[in-house]
């Protein structure tokens, strides 16, 4: 595919990657950290392509992992165009050193 074809596929959508340019049809995933308002020391790390919908699902009690500590707020979201790197970062955030990093720098 030539450069001209790629240029035709570049889009800017405020709902995807904060309006940064991406290739149309690219699946972008976010890694999010949620914090419980009921228990400030309780956090949840997950992934989604629609953070608003996913937060509403968590606050609606639709996730068994978060339903006991309602309500939740989104603390941070990281956009990854490379889903493999996003999955690696999510796995890191769920590890002991990743949790320590999140508490020290993000929460």
pLDDT single digits (tens) 88-102: 999 999 999 999 999
For the chain, what is the largest distance between any 2 Cα atoms, rounded to a whole number of angstroms?
A: 53
CA 45 to chain centre: 8
Q: Could you tell me where the DSSP H helices lie in the chain?
A: 3-9, 51-59, 83-93, 96-105
Alpha carbon distance, N-terminus to C-terminus of the chain: 43
pLDDT single digits (tens) 52-88: 889 999 999 999 999 999 999 999 999 887 888 999 9
Is the model's pTM score more than 0.85?
no
Residue 19 burial class via C-beta count within 10 angstroms: exposed 0-12, middle 13-18, buried 19 and up? exposed
Say if CB 28 and CB 10 are below 8 A apart. no
pLDDT at 1 over 70: no
């Amino acid at each position: 595919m030539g450069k001209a074809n790629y240029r035709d596929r570049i889009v800017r959508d405020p709902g995807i990657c904060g309006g940064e340019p991406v290739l149309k049809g690219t699946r972008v995933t976010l890694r999010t950290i949620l914090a419980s308002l009921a228990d400030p020391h309780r956090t949840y790390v997950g992934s989604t392509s629609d953070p608003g919908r996913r937060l509403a699902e968590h606050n609606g009690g639709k996730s068994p992992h978060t339903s006991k500590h309602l309500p939740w707020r989104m603390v941070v979201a990281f956009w990854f165009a490379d889903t493999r790197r996003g999955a690696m970062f999510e796995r890191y955030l769920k590890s002991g050193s990743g949790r320590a990093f999140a508490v020290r720098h993000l929460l």
